[in-house]
Amino acid sequence: MITPHLDSDPVPREPMIAPSLLSADFARLADETQAVADADWVHVDVMDAHFVPNLTLGLPVVQAIQKVSPIPLDCHLMIENPERWAPGYAEAGARTGTVHAEACTDPRKVARDLRAAGSLAGLALKPGTPLDDCLDVLNDFDLLLVMTVEPGFGGQEFIAEVLPKVRRARELVETGHLTLLVEVDGGINADTIEQAAAAGADVFVAGSAVYGADDPARAIAALRARAVAAAR
C-alpha cells in the first residue's frame, strides 16, 4: 500500500479549508458533511473529557462518518494516551490523525503507527506549548496543528499571540528544515483568517464560522478567497 506521506505528495500551494463538525448538528452528521462538500477536509474533534474538559465523539462515530463523508476526515485527537488510541482513526480511513504533543509519551512511535496505518501524522500544540519543545520530533510528522484557542470548545476568540509560532513553522518549512503542512485551529473567521494566512498557515479549521453561517458553502468560499488573497 502506498501511504500518503508528504514526502510523496506535493505540498499544496492553495490554502485548505477544514470545517469543524464540533459546531454541526450532531443528530445530522451525514447531512452536515454534505453541506461542506466544497471544503478540503472535514475536521473531527475527538475529546475524551480527560485531556480536555469536554466529551464529544470517538472511534465508532468516526467510522460511521468516514462511510458517508464526501471529503477526507481530519481527526484532531484531544485525548490522553494517543499511543493506544490514535492508530484506530488511521485504520478507519481518516486522512489525518493529529495527536497532542502534551499528551504523547512517545510521539515518534505515534507518528510511525499513524503512517503505517495509512494516514498523515499530525502533531498539535496548545497555545502555551513552544514549538522548540517538539522540533526534534517534527521531522517524523506530516502536519503541525497550531491551536489558536485553548482546546476544548468551539466559538472561542482567536489568540493572535500564537501567530509567531505559525511564522516560525512556515520559515522552517520554507528553509527545508521541516516538510509538513501548518494548520491553525480555533477562532478562525472572515476577520482572523487573513492574519493566519499571512503568517503562513496552509490549513484553516473553522467551526462556528462555517456551521453558524446561513450558507456554509458560501462561508467556505469566502474564507478561501480571503486566505488566498492574504497568502500572496
**Binders of Zn ion among 209-228, rule CB under 5 A?**
none
176 Cβ partners below 8 Å, 6+ apart?
Answer: none
The stretch among 27-35, 92-100, 115-123, 206-214 that binds ligand DX5 (CB under 6 A) is 206-214
Helix 82-91 vs helix 107-116: crossing angle, to nearest 10: 20
**Residue 187: CB minimum distance to ligand DX5, A:** 5
User: Please, what sign has the CA dihedral across residues 231, 200, 148, 59?
Assistant: positive
- Which among 61, 38, 37, 58 has a CA at the least distance from the CA of 48? 58
Task: Say how far apart CA 67 and CA 185 lie, in whole Å.
Answer: 25
Among 188, 196, 203, 213, binds ligand DX5 (CB under 6 A): 188
Site for ligand DX5 in 123-182 (CB under 6 A): 149, 151-152, 154-156
The amino acid occupying position 27 is A
90, 119 Cβ separation under 8 angstroms: yes
Q: Is residue 94 within 8 Å of 116, Cβ to Cβ?
A: no
The residue within the footprint of ligand DX5, chosen from 101, 173, 206, 223 (CB under 6 A), is: 206
Give the distance, in angstroms, between the CA of residue 199 and the centroid of all CA atoms in the same chain: 17
Residue 9 annotated to the active site: no
Residue 76 binds to Zn ion (criterion: CB under 5 A): yes
Q: Which residues contact 93 (CB under 8 A, 6 or more apart)?
A: 66, 73, 118
Angle at 93 between CA 111 and CA 206, to 5 degrees: 80
CB 158 within 8 A of CB 192: yes
- Binding-site member from 185, 189, 203, 219 for Zn ion (CB under 5 A): 185
Least distance to ligand DX5 from the beta carbon of 66, Å? 18
Q: Which does 207 bind (CB under 5 to 8 A by kind): Zn ion, ligand DX5, none?
A: ligand DX5
To Zn ion, the closest distance from the beta carbon of 136 in angstroms equals 24
Q: Is 48 a catalytic residue?
A: no
Report the nearest approach of Zn ion to the CB of residue 55 (Å).
14
Binding range to Zn ion, per CB under 5 A, among 52-60, 71-79, 89-97, 194-202: 71-79
Q: CB nearer to ligand DX5: give 23 or 66.
A: 23
Least separation, in Å, of the C-beta of 10 and ligand DX5? 26
Residues contributing to the site for ligand DX5 (CB under 6 A): 20, 22-23, 43, 45, 76, 149, 151-152, 154-156, 185-188, 205-209
Catalytic residues: 45, 185
